[in-house]
Structure 1
Amino acid sequence: MSETSMLEVRGLVAGYGAAPVLREVDLTIPRGAITAVLGANGAGKTTLLRTLSGLLKPTAGRIVFDGQDLRGAKVEHLVRRGLAHVPQGRGVVAELTVEENLRLGGLWRGDAAGLRRDVAEAYETFPALARRRKHSGHQLSGGERQMLALARALVGRPRLLLLDEPSLGLAPRVTAQIMALLRRLRDASGLTVLLVEQNVRGALSVADDGVVMSLGRIAVTASAERLRDDAALRHAYLGF
């Protein structure tokens, strides 16, 4: 594995039942970069993230995260290694308050003082959550739940963040704020991000690289700039 890579995937096959969704996927994610995963509905984007985060076991292939082979690794092990997954649908615990959700994100950590600092930093980053810290998850708006899911993942101090459709159902202003935050985190801490998005323009505006999936395979790998500027590629794979 290259020292410049945070994640390498080779020959990955995974699915639900007999028919595979992912078909011989090869993928390299550079360290400290934002990589956008694009493609039509049903292309395999969400299945890819679920497999990388340990929620779905592959039937073939290798996943190497920061030099370690993840075959057979449990989700808890991946979290402790620094991999965080924010799934589609804003995965927060609706019965818990904002504060409790944030603390849950750092439950595995042994440094209580550091966890308190990171929770306080989450409130500084997302002032809307600070105002709602005693409210339960089901009392939050869609945008607030998305902020909470992202903030909870960040409290765990990940090195690789898997984000599945963070803009889904959000107002353009909130989407822009989340994309800007990803840029700041990449620049400030070297966070590596794998971003699945249907909002192609928004994703390419923040990404360094882009991967286009089609029918469970990687169809195109290119810089985000090339995907933005190459009309033929856009028309062929992204529909605009």
Structure 2
Amino acid sequence: MSTGNLQVRGLTTAYGAVVAVDEVDLVAEPGRITAVLGANGAGKTTLLRTISGLVRPRAGQVLLDGADLTREPAEAIARAGIAHVPEGRGVITELTVEENLRLGALLGASRRRTDRGLAQVYGMFPALAQRRRQDAHVLSGGERQMLVIGRALLSGPSVLLLDEPSLGLAPRIVAQIFALVRGLVDAEGTTVLLVEQNARSALSIADVGVVLNLGRVVAREDAATLAADAALRHAYLGF
């Protein structure tokens, strides 16, 4: 059983001649939220896509509890315990909320574990419980974000990769989603690697902040220290 210690060593990913992730080192630990911050084009999404196996790196390693997953296919990486929630809130609108959630349990979960996981997700997201029999197309943007996070949790991950969960949501809903993520980490000890452009909100719930610029790590600090560094914030984070 994975404990969720994620290490990235010297990771380099390129699209042709364009290097999107350039020798990145980072550690995401169990029970902590590591926020990856930076402007558009900094390499944040490519970093998550490389970790989850959707993109092959040019060099470097991705390790989960010491096991090298770098060259494994995406399905094997998911089975190992890394769940990726990509940007865009992709739900299957023709399916019900519960049918969408059950898709997350297709990686071999038993019926009992699936039922237990559904109960936990509904406890975490009461709005989904109320709409469990309704088609997903009726959901608001915030509810869809809850649904894709809940679907990822049904796979029983030790590491959760979240890509821009605040995108397009009202500030009140962003605060709610982030509070739920913080609560999940505190209650379950899950490792969360959070990619966000909303740096102020991300740092408010994160334990560690990593700043990328043009694919390279330019800062790595405790979240509170990073938030207090006015020069760095102004240079790279826009607030």
Q: Shorter-chain TM-score category?
A: over 0.9
SS of aligned partner of 1:166: coil
Give the structure 2 partner of residue 176 of structure 1.
175
Would you say how many aligned residue pairs link Structure 1 and Structure 2?
A: 237
Do the aligned partners of 1:109 and 1:115 also contact (CA within 8 Å) in 2?
no
Give the structure 1 partner of residue 97 of structure 2.
98
- TM-score, scaled relative to structure 1: 0.94
Cα distance in 2 for partners of 1:5, 1:209 equals 16
Do the aligned partners of 2:102 and 2:151 also contact (CA within 8 Å) in 1?
yes
Cα distance in 1 for partners of 2:109, 2:131 equals 26
Matches within 5 A, 1:1-240: 6-240=5-239
Cα distance in 2 for partners of 1:147, 1:182 equals 10
Cα distance in 2 for partners of 1:233, 1:111 equals 47
Cα–Cα, structure 1 residues 156 and 227, in superposed 2: closer, same or farther, change >3 Å?
same
**AA partner of residue 107 (structure 1):** L
SS of aligned partner of 2:35: strand
SS of aligned partner of 1:99: helix
Cα distance in 2 for partners of 1:103, 1:176 equals 26
- Structure 1 position 46, deviation (Å): 0.4
- TM-score, scaled relative to structure 2: 0.94
Superposition RMSD in Å: 1.5
Cα–Cα, structure 1 residues 199 and 143, in superposed 2: closer, same or farther, change >3 Å?
same
**AA partner of residue 162 (structure 2):** L
Do the aligned partners of 1:10 and 1:61 also contact (CA within 8 Å) in 2?
yes
> What is the percentage of aligned positions where both structures have the same residue?
61
Cα distance in 2 for partners of 1:104, 1:233 equals 41
Per-residue CA deviations over 1:182-211 (Å, capped at 9, x if unaligned) read 211111111110001111111000000000
SS of aligned partner of 2:54: coil
SS of aligned partner of 1:28: strand
Cα distance in 1 for partners of 2:108, 2:185 equals 22
- Structure 1 position 221, deviation (Å): 0.5
Cα distance in 1 for partners of 2:193, 2:60 equals 19
Per-residue CA deviations over 1:42-98 (Å, capped at 9, x if unaligned) read 000000000001111111111111111012211111111110000000122223211
Do the aligned partners of 2:4 and 2:191 also contact (CA within 8 Å) in 1?
no
- Structure 1 position 18, deviation (Å): 3.2
Do the aligned partners of 2:105 and 2:154 also contact (CA within 8 Å) in 1?
yes
Deviates most, 201-210 or 105-114:
105-114
Deviating above 6 A after TM superposition, structure 1's stretches of 4 or more consecutive aligned residues are none
SS of aligned partner of 1:120: helix
Structure 1 unmatched ranges of 5 or more: none
**AA partner of residue 43 (structure 1):** A
- Structure 1 position 5, deviation (Å): 7.7
**AA partner of residue 85 (structure 1):** H
